[in-house]
Structure 1
Amino acid sequence: MARLFASARVVRRDEAFIRTLYEDHGQPLIAYATRLTGDRAAAEDVVQEALVRAWRNTDALAANAETARAWLFTVTRNLVIDRSRARASRPAEVAESASHDVVLGDHAQRVVDSMSVLAAIDALSEDHRQVLVQIYFHDRSVADAAQELGIAPGTVKSRSHYAVRALRVALERVAT
């Protein structure tokens, strides 16, 4: 029973010592770790780990309280170096926004878009569809399309204008 009370006193003493260390050195440690890491959250993690290590070595630090600050700063620097080395030895982490890029690279949307365009083209009149096929799919000039279809170049221009306008209206209906 006496042993239990003695260990409880040691734990309370150790906790009080760590609290005192944090009160005396916590803010400068966080500022130092932030300068080293460039990230406040990472700096707080490093300082927390440094204090856990101080708690594990309470007897040694309590015996020589004058060097506790130097010890904490050294441990903090070493932890930052260890984190940096560990990150360098692992493959690069993928950011959450990278998953968005994967979705952008998905071909499913292009398939849906092409199906919508084909449906809209099918809804055009035969004359308008022929002109669009000649100009946009066969990459013909107005004169070449007119010659191929056997109509005047002005008619090709007029039909292509109205065909594109009708296509735009049809695609807007599909999109909504």
Structure 2
Amino acid sequence: MRQDEQAALRELHGDYAQLLWRFAMRLVHDRAQAQDVVQETLLRAWQHPEVLTREPAALRAWLFTVARNLVIDEWRSARHRHEFGTDQLPETPADDATERVLDAWLVGDAMESLSADHREVIRLAYYGGRDTASIAAELDIPEGTVKSRLHYGLRALRLALEERGVSGR
């Protein structure tokens, strides 16, 4: 770009940017969009340097017509018709509970195949969140027995789940 063109564009910006912005704000009521309209209008003036040689009244009319047409084009665009701003976040999709329900049913069915002793220590440890000492105290059995029942009960549970088509790991 030549020096004289740069100077003309700076002068154009200085003379018309604020006026165009106020004009665009009255049309769009959005600061960012008004600024975009001004930038695009001045860009089009830069792309058509012959416009810069017009009389001031004709240049002003051309700039305001371009700005108005940009706003109208935006209003007519599909983006404007189908998109809208909101202060609320979109709904977050809820997790599909089907998978969890089926897993719970499968584990419950497999748990039924265990002995009552194994089922009880697994329930207290994994569903109750209890440690071996509290399980031993509640069931009035030694801690080693609790550990043994947990070990063999989990092995039997894994085997029962594999028989039902659940793969290990």
TM-score by length of 2: 0.50
Q: Answer 1 or 2: which has greater helix percent.
A: 1
TM-score by length of 1: 0.48
